[in-house]
Structure formats: structure tokens, C-alpha cells
């Protein structure tokens, strides 16, 4: 890992994933971290069979219709990420929406053709939850973790959700004082991208480089809009991210946009890349975008929210699409 990102803190605390999925557990790992697989140089393009078509539309020509990955089940998925070589998809999974039946949320990985899954070793023992896995070209795995400490039976937050690497003992503190999540380290320019979540729930995209954090100016971050989940191509010249800038109701639909680099922290006007319709009675969107190194395969998440009496029910599903031979 690059030295200018290091702000090392050793931890053995009790942690919890913020949001609707809450649970406790110790994060101590007695054995050194070892990644369960290697990301190879070539890209695997063997067939992937989907179970059903998605609602989202890819605005760029030449892509297949997105299909739901077969490893997806009745639970809730999040933090989808396809490795550069197309051989694995990593994701955060809860067996039932809300973490029912006493089964805790965990990070899983699935090997192509994505029909089965295994727990990833970054998942802490006990009742922990980590999120937002991303593997750099150097092979380091970055992800987000929260820090809830139990003191005399009482739980309190030791620090906001932060980005950690590999075994989780190194905290990459961007210094914002807010939640720092959905990391993406771009090796070519030694830049750590992440979304910063404020107490209000609004989010912006920031870059940590040479020991300093820079919030991207307009047209990336817009006032009172959600900008999150940055994903960059290996040359760091194209960025995909999730945004509410096209919202028609509250923050929905969330959609995926594409922007080209103009300068160190300057980006072009984003273009809509994956759109999501808002049929009557349904809201939601798409997010958690990732792509293989050759730009010919993608995985993303589709969120559907429907009314259920006085409440709302949300479901997250993982979708796959690929370039069609012309």
C-alpha cells in the first residue's frame, strides 16, 4: 500500500455496520490476513446465466440487457464489486431483509459463473459487519468498518465509520470527521476515492492524496444531492458514480453517471450511464457499480422500494451485463 495513505491504528474493538443492520462482535484476528484468491491479468468472459431481467437501462449502446445474478437469493445484497479479471463478485449479504433469524450480515465472494458463495475472511468473527470491498491493482482489499466499543455493558461509537485495509488493523483516516465509506484506490495516480456521509445523510465524493483530502467540485458534487460510490477505470481517467441529481421524488431514482477527468481534481459534466424508471408505486434506483479492466463486463445493484401498508419494503438485487459482439 502507498505510504501517503497510511494512518495506522491497531484495533480490537466491537463494531457494527451503520444503518438498518446492527450487530456486535470482536474484530480481533489472531492469524495474518491472507486473500482467498488472486486476481489474474486476463479477463474471464465465460458465460454467465441470469435469472431475470432488471428494470434498469444502460444508456450506452452495445450492452446486453442486465440480468439478476444466480447467486442472488431472497436476502438483501449490497456493496457489489466484480474483480478486474471477471472471476469473482464480492458483496455484502444479509440472509433476510433486516438480518432476521439471528443470522448476521457478512461479506461474501462468489466465483464465476456466480451460482454459489463463500464468506470472505475480512468478515470479522462474532456479530460484525463490514461493507464496500474493493481490491486494488496491488492486491490490497479496502473496505469500510465501524467502531462500536462495549464499556461496562454499554455500547458507544469510538469513531465514525472509516476505511480499513486487508486485516482491518490499518485505518485510512481521511480526516473529515464524518462517515468515510465505499473506498476505491486508484493505483495509477495514488488516489483514494470515497464518499463522505454527513450527519444530515447527504453525501459527497472526496479524494485523499498526498496526505490531504479534497472534495470534488461541481459538476461532480452538487448542493443537496447525493453523490456516492465512486468507481474508476484503471487509468484513473473515467469515473462512474451513483447520484440523485436526476431525482423526481425525494432522492429517487438513484442512477449511475459517467465522467471524464479534465485535471487533477477536475471532471467533465457527468452523463447518465445507467437509468432507472420510477413506475407508479415503486421507487428506488441503481448503484454500487463496478466493471472489469477491459470495460466489457459490469455488475451493479438495483434497489426497489414498494409500499407495504404504512411502511415501505426495500429489496436489493445484483445485476450483470456485458458488451455484445458487434
pLDDT digits (tens, 9 = 90+) for 256-301: 999 999 999 999 999 999 999 988 778 889 999 999 999 999 999 9
Question: How far apart (Å, rounded) are the C-alpha atoms in residues 49 and 68?
Answer: 9
Q: Which of 234, 166, 228 is nearest to 201 (CA)?
A: 228
Average pLDDT over residues 221-242: 98
Burial of residue 47, with CB atoms counted within 10 A of its CB: 0-12 exposed, 13-18 middle, 19 or more buried: exposed
Residue 181 lies in a domain: yes
Output DSSP code: residue 198: -
Among 121, 125, 123, 165, which residue's Cα sits nearest to residue 142?
165
Q: Which residues does 318 contact at the CB level (< 8 Å), separation at least 6? A: 68, 69, 71, 72, 77, 80, 89, 91, 299, 300, 301, 302
pLDDT in the model for residue 228: 98
Q: Does 250 have pLDDT greater than 80?
A: yes
Find the helix or strand (DSSP H, E) in which 150 lies: strand 141-151
pLDDT at 310: 77
In a domain, 37, yes or no: no
- Higher pLDDT pick, 102 / 178: 178
Give the range with max mean pLDDT: 209-218, 244-253, 298-307.
209-218
What pLDDT is stored for residue 29 in this prediction? 43
Note whether residue 19 is domain-resident.
yes
Share of residues in the chain with pLDDT > 90 (%): 66
Grid coordinates belonging to 285: 434506483
Range of the domain at 249: 3-28+48-322
Q: Do you find a cis peptide bond into 246, omega within 30 degrees of 0?
A: no
Does 227 fall in a domain? yes
Q: Where are the beta strands (DSSP E) in 210-264?
A: 212-215, 227-232, 238-243, 255-260
> Is residue 206 over pLDDT 90?
yes
The label of the residue with cell 465472494 reads 109
Contact partners, residue 310, CB within 8 Å, separation at least 6: none
Instruction: Write down the pTM of the prediction.
Output: 0.88
pLDDT band at 101 (very low <50, low <70, confident <90, very high): very low
Higher pLDDT, 323 or 305: 323
> 43 lies in a domain?
no
C-alpha cell of residue 192:
483514494
39 located within any domain: no
| pLDDT exceeds cutoff 60 at 24 | no
102 confidence band (pLDDT: 50, 70, 90): very low
Digit-coded pLDDT (tens) for 127-168: 557 899 999 999 999 999 988 777 877 878 888 999 999 999
Give the list of residues 6+ apart from residue 131 with CB closer than 8 angstroms, or none. Answer: 17, 78, 79, 92, 107, 143, 144, 181
Q: What is the CATH number of the domain that holds 255?
A: 2.120.10
Confidence of residue 28 (pLDDT cuts 50, 70, 90): very low
Q: For the chain, first and last CA: distance in Å?
A: 40
Report if residue 35 sits inside a domain.
Answer: no
Total number of domains in the chain: 1
In a domain, 156, yes or no: yes
Q: What is the arithmetic mean of pLDDT over 118-135?
A: 83
Amino acid at each position: 500500500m502507498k505510504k501517503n495513505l497510511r494512518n495506522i491504528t491497531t484495533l480490537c474493538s466491537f463494531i457494527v455496520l451503520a444503518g438498518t443492520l446492527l450487530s456486535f462482535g470482536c474484530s480481533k484476528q489472531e492469524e495474518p490476513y491472507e486473500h482467498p484468491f488472486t486476481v489474474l491479468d486476463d479477463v474471464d468472459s465465460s458465460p454467465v446465466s441470469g435469472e431475470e431481467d432488471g428494470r434498469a437501462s444502460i444508456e450506452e449502446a452495445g450492452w446486453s440487457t442486465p440480468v439478476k445474478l444466480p447467486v442472488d437469493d431472497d436476502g438483501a445484497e449490497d456493496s457489489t464489486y466484480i474483480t478486474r479479471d471477471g472471476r469473482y463478485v464480492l458483496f455484502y449479504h444479509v440472509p433476510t431483509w433486516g438480518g432476521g433469524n439471528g443470522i448476521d450480515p457478512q461479506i461474501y465472494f462468489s466465483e464465476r459463473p456466480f451460482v454459489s458463495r463463500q464468506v470472505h475472511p475480512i468478515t470479522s468473527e462474532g456479530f460484525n459487519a463490514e461493507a464496500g470491498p474493493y481490491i486494488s491493482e496491488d492486491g490490497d482489499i479496502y473496505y469500510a468498518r465501524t467502531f462500536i466499543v462495549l464499556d461496562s455493558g454499554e455500547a458507544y461509537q469510538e469513531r465514525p465509520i472509516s476505511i480499513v485495509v486487508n486485516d482491518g488493523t490499518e485505518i485510512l483516516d481521511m480526516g473529515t470527521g464524518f462517515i468515510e465509506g465505499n473506498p476505491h484506490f486508484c493505483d495509477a495516480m495514488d488516489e483514494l476515492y470515497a464518499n463522505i456521509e454527513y450527519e444530515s445523510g447527504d453525501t459527497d465524493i472526496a479524494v485523499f492524496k498526498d496526505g490531504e483530502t479534497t472534495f470534488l467540485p461541481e459538476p461532480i458534487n452538487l448542493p443537496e444531492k447525493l453523490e456516492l460510490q465512486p468507481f474508476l477505470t484503471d487509468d484513473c481517467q473515467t469515473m462512474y458514480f451513483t447520484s440523485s441529481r436526476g431525482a423526481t421524488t425525494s432522492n429517487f431514482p438513484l442512477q449511475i453517471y459517467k465522467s471524464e477527468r479534465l485535471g487533477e481534481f477536475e471532471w467533465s459534466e457527468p452523463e447518465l450511464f445507467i437509468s432507472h424508471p420510477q413506475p407508479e408505486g415503486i421507487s428506488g434506483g441503481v448503484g454500487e457499480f463496478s466493471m472489469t479492466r477491459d470495460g466489457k463486463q459490469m455488475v451493479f445493484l438495483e434497489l426497489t422500494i414498494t409500499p407495504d401498508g404504512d411502511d415501505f419494503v426495500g429489496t436489493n438485487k445484483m445485476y450483470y451485463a456485458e458488451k455484445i459482439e458487434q
